[in-house]
Each structure stands twice: as structure tokens, then as C-alpha cells.
């Protein structure tokens, strides 16, 4: 048996079914897998991947393996692992996995280091923790690394900060910045899966409730529109005037969080920043308010402040719901320990949207392998032609046809002489 640290290998059959189900909804990735099986573009490449260990990630891992990669997988969040999927990857695919749902911080970093013991030529990150540990604690290994990929907005922000300080030691592809990633995954994926996570955790009715979305980036836009679709009164809070204006013209009420705090029934952070919901906001919230986060890290809600404002320990009133009683007697319900609720209490984004994100990862690895030597130690995006090809394949797989320009139209768009 290959090395691993997963919850229980007896779960492997359930995991296998789950992976099969996800793969049936990932036609673009399947096409890439077929080509990879013939061309083996990742042959001999050692890859350490730090991703959410879900059935969709398993579909990607199996595609990379077919393409010739020698890969190891660890969790990118302590609460996002699907234990049955982890078991199946180990038992059925012989992919070393280090991930257990609910692992503590120490185990999380032990798993990350186990993935780095693989001495990768490429890193795949979801949040930049792998790159960060390599650059801070395992510098002697960095020269072995050719390139990396990064899945999330949060990770790309960290990488750009590293590149700006000139400390990034190898080129990284920002998968998040592909159009076929953030337009769809961040918006429709986060929108649906966050509502799914909140509903699975609480079973509360959203219709008629005041739903406060903190942050109107791609994820916030998606979440606000899905919450409205469920009948909630949506309030958006923002710090960026452009995004606030967009939220307003999209038809949402825009308020500072200090004002929204006393109105909201449900509060969700999707900002990528820290202490967005702070002590003063929680102090003003109604009895029974629900707090959740769908940003990458559990830093968006000031949980230490919530703990110190509360009487005694929180009650685990339902799975993924901790109920705090404040000194003022009100109860606040924190979901999923403030970790990304869509993966903690639900299953993350649906496979049909991860199809495009992970097509970008697979083609991104191929691209970085072929081009890394010519790139600086900076953050790159996938060439637009690859991005558009992924969109074309996705449309094809959905049986949707579109028009093409006539040669007259193409010439018109490329010329400046014709006017009124
Ligand atoms: N990030 C969000 N949803 C995901 C999923 N289903 N699998 C992997 N990473 C994700």
C-alpha cells in the first residue's frame, strides 16, 4: 500500500461512486484526459497538490495521473476533505493522499509537509499555503521546483504580494484569473454552493429573510443573486466604490456593515480579508443571527472576539452550527467554525462548474511544463486562446451552438474606415 493518511480505507467504494458521478458531469476534463492518455504531457513530472479533496479534485488527480504525473495530494483546508474520496484515491488509484476531514492545524501542516516530502517539480495550490511553506520553511527544496499553479483569488493575491516583494522563486500560473474560471466557478459555483452549505447546516428558510453579503467580488455577486433567487432581501456591504455602485445598480441595498448589523438575519463574508465581521458588528446583531464565511480563510469573522464576548462555551446545536450566547443574552450561530461553509457543510461547487476550473488546471500544468524555463518568477495567466477553447468545449458538451462572424463582419471589425 502506498503511503497515505486518510480516515478509513473502507470508505473507498463509496468514494469511487462519488468520483464516477462527478466525472460524468465533467466532459471537458474527460476530453483532456483522452488526449493526455495518448500524449502523456506530464510524464515524469512530480507534482504536490494542495487542493480541497473532493470528488471533482479526484477527477483532476486521475486526469493528471493518466497524463503521466507522479502526484501526491494533501488538503487545502482542514474541513473540506471528503473522506470517502480520499480513501478511494489511495485504494483504487494508488495516489498518496494526506487529508482527513476535521484535522487540527498541526495535522494540516504535517500533511502539507508530507506532500512536500515528495520533492515536487510543480506545486498546485488552493490558497497558497504550499508555496508559502516552501518559501518560508523549506527553502533548500525550491530550486527543484519548475513552476506552480494557484486556484483561488486569495492565493493569487498572496502570490502577487510575493512577486512584488521579489521573493517568489518560481513562476506560478493564476488559474483563478482565467475567464473560464472566475466568471463561472467564483460566481455560479460559490453562489450555489454557499447557499447549499447554509441550508444544509441550518435548514432555515431564506425567503423573506435579510441576507447580508459582505463583499461584491465575483463570489459576492454570485451569492447575492442566488440568495435573491431564494426570496431573501439582500443587503451588500463593500469598501470599493465601484463594486458598491455595481451592487446598487444590480438592485441590491448597499449599507455599511455597522448599519446592516442590526437588520440582518444571515451574514456571509466573501471578501478575502480579515475581521470583516468584528466585535462591534456582532454586538449589534439580532438574537438568532446566523454567521458564515465563504472566503478561503477563517479570518473574515473575528472568532476570538466572538469567544471573548460570549458566556461560557458555545453549544454545538446542530452539526456545523455553534451557538454562542453573548453577555447581552442574544444567541449568535456560527457556521462551520467560520471556515468556507460551501465545503465544510456541503460538497463545494458542483462538478459541472469545476469541469472548467480543472480543465484550466490540467492545461495550465501542461502549459507551465512547456514554458516555465522562459518565464520570470512572476504570476501568469493562461493564454486567452486556451481559455476560449475551454469555453468552446464546454458549450459543445452542452449541445449549445453559436454563430460565427462572416468574413465581411470580421473585416469590418478589423477596419476603421467605414462610419455612418
Ligand atoms: N472549490 C470549491 N468547490 C470545489 C470543489 N467541488 N472541488 C474542489 N475545489 C473546490
Helix (H) or strand (E) holding 315, with range, is strand 315-318
Please provide the average confidence, as pLDDT, over all residues in the chain: 97
Q: What is the DSSP letter of 182?
A: I
**Structure-block grid coordinates of residue 308:** 471573548
Q: Give dist(CA 201, CA 15) in Å, integer.
A: 22
Ligand 1 pocket check: which of 64, 348, 360 to mutate, most ligand atoms within 8 Å of Cβ? 348
H runs (alpha helix) in 235-296:
241-249, 257-260, 279-284
Q: How many Å apart are CA 180 and CA 359, to the nearest integer?
A: 9
Q: Tell me, what's the pLDDT at 348? A: 97
CA of 301 relative to ligand 1 center, distance in Å = 21
Structure confidence at residue 407 (pLDDT)? 98
Cell of 66: 493518466
The pLDDT of residue 261 is 98
Domains and CATH numbers, the chain: 9-181+349-397 (3.40.50.1480), 191-344 (3.40.50.720)
Per DSSP, the three-state class of 148 is strand
Q: In a mutational test of the pocket of ligand 1, which residue from 343, 344, 345 has the highest number of ligand atoms less than 8 Å from its CB?
A: 343
| Residue segments in the chain with a per-residue pLDDT below the cut of 70 | none
Spatial neighbors of 372 by CB under 8 A, at least 6 apart, are 146, 147, 170, 171
Residue 418 in grid coordinates: 467605414
| Contact (CB, 8 A) for 271 and 299 | no
Q: Pocket residues for ligand 1 (CB within 6 Å)?
A: 52, 54, 56-57, 189, 343, 348-349, 354
Distance 56 CA to ligand 1 centre (A): 7
- Cα(285) to centroid of ligand 1, in Å? 31
Query: Which atom of ligand 1 lies at the shortest distance from residue 350's CA?
Result: 6
Buried b (16+ CB within 10 A) or exposed e, 396-408: ebeeeeeeeeeee
Which pLDDT score, from 0 to 100, does residue 379 have? 98
DSSP per residue, 352-415:
HHHHHHHHHHHHHHHHHHHHGGGS-SSEE---HHHHHHHHHHHHHHTT-------HHHHHHHT-
Distance from the alpha carbon of residue 198 to the mean position of ligand 1, in angstroms:
16
Distance (angstroms) between ligand 1 centre and the Cα of 54 equals 7
Ligand 1 nearest atom to the CA of residue 193, by list position:
3
The candidate with the shortest Cα–Cα distance to 353, out of 105, 96, 180, 212, is 180
Within 10 A of 299 (CB to CB), how many other CB atoms are there?
A: 18
In the reported structure, the alpha carbon of residue 382 is separated from the centroid of ligand 1 by a whole-number distance in angstroms of: 20
Q: What pLDDT, on the 0 to 100 scale, is given for residue 418?
A: 86
Quick one: pLDDT at residue 420? 82
Strands (E), 30-185: 46-51, 70-75, 97-98, 122-125, 147-150, 172-174
Mutate to test the pocket of ligand 1, among 56, 295, 353, 362 (most ligand atoms within 8 A of CB): 56
Do residues 279 and 309 touch, judged by C-beta distance below 8 A? yes
The DSSP bridge pattern shows strands 331-335 and 210-214 to be: unpaired
| Beta carbons within 8 Å of 301's beta carbon, 6+ residues apart | 269, 275, 276, 277, 291, 293, 334, 338
* DSSP assignment string, 185-198: IIIIIHHHHHHHHH
Radius of gyration of the chain from Cα atoms?
Answer: 22
Query: What pLDDT does 1 receive?
Result: 85
Please give the pLDDT value at position 408: 96
* Cell numbers given for 192: 450555489
Where in 70-133 does DSSP place strands (E)? 70-75, 97-98, 122-125
* Predicted local confidence at residue 235, as pLDDT: 98
Nearest-angstrom CA–CA distance, 112 and 238: 34
Amino acid at each position: 500500500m502506498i503511503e497515505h493518511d486518510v480516515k478509513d480505507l473502507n470508505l473507498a467504494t463509496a468514494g469511487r461512486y462519488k468520483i464516477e458521478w462527478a466525472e460524468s458531469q465533467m466532459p471537458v476534463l474527460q476530453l483532456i484526459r483522452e488526449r493526455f492518455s495518448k500524449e502523456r504531457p506530464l510524464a515524469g513530472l512530480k507534482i504536490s497538490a494542495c487542493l480541497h479533496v473532493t470528488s471533482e479534485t479526484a477527477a483532476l488527480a486521475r486526469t493528471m495521473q493518466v497524463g503521466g504525473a507522479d502526484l501526491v495530494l494533501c488538503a487545502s483546508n482542514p474541513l473540506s476533505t471528503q473522506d470517502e474520496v480520499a480513501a478511494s484515491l489511495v485504494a483504487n488509484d494508488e495516489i498518496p493522499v494526506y487529508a482527513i476531514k476535521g484535522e487540527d492545524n498541526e495535522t494540516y501542516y504535517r500533511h502539507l509537509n508530507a506532500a512536500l516530502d515528495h520533492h515536487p517539480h510543480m506545486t498546485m495550490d488552493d490558497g497558497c499555503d504550499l508555496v508559502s511553506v516552501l518559501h518560508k520553511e523549506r527553502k533548500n527544496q525550491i530550486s527543484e521546483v519548475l513552476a506552480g499553479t494557484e486556484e483561488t483569488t486569495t492565493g493569487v493575491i498572496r502570490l502577487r504580494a510575493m512577486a512584488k516583494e521579489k521573493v517568489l522563486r518560481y513562476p506560478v500560473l493564476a488559474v483563478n484569473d482565467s475567464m473560464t474560471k472566475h466568471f463561472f466557478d467564483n460566481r455560479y459555483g460559490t453562489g450555489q454552493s454557499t447557499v447549499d452549505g447554509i441550508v444544509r447546516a441550518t435548514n432555515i428558510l431564506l425567503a423573506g429573510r435579510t441576507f447580508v453579503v459582505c463583499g461584491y467580488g465575483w463570489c459576492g455577486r454570485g451569492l447575492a443573486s442566488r440568495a435573491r433567487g431564494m426570496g431573501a432581501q439582500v443587503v451588500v456591504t463593500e469598501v470599493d466604490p465601484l463594486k458598491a455602485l455595481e451592487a446598487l445598480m444590480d438592485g441590491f441595498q448597499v449599507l455599511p456593515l455597522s448599519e446592516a448589523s442590526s437588520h440582518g438575519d444571515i451574514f456571509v463574508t466573501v471578501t478575502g480579508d480579515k475581521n470583516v465581521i468584528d466585535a462591534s458588528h456582532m454586538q449589534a446583531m439580532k438574537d438568532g443571527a446566523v454567521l458564515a464565511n465563504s472566503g478561503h480563510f477563517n479570518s473574515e469573522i473575528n472568532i476570538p472576539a466572538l469567544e471573548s464576548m460570549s458566556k461560557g462555551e458555545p453549544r454545538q446545536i446542530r452539526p456545523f452550527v455553534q451557538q454562542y450566547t453573548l453577555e447581552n443574552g442574544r444567541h449568535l450561530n456560527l457556521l462551520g467554525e467560520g471556515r468556507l461553509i460551501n465545503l465544510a457543510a456541503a460538497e463545494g461547487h458542483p462538478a459541472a462548474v469545476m469541469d472548467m476550473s480543472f480543465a484550466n488546471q490540467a492545461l495550465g500544468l501542461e502549459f507551465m511544463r512547456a514554458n516555465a524555463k522562459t518565464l520570470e518568477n512572476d504570476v501568469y495567466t493562461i493564454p486567452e486562446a486556451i481559455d476560449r477553447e475551454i469555453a468552446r468545449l464546454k458549450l459543445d458538451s452542452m449541445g449549445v451552438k453559436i454563430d460565427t462572424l462572416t468574413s465581411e463582419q470580421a473585416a469590418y471589425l478589423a477596419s476603421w474606415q467605414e462610419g455612418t
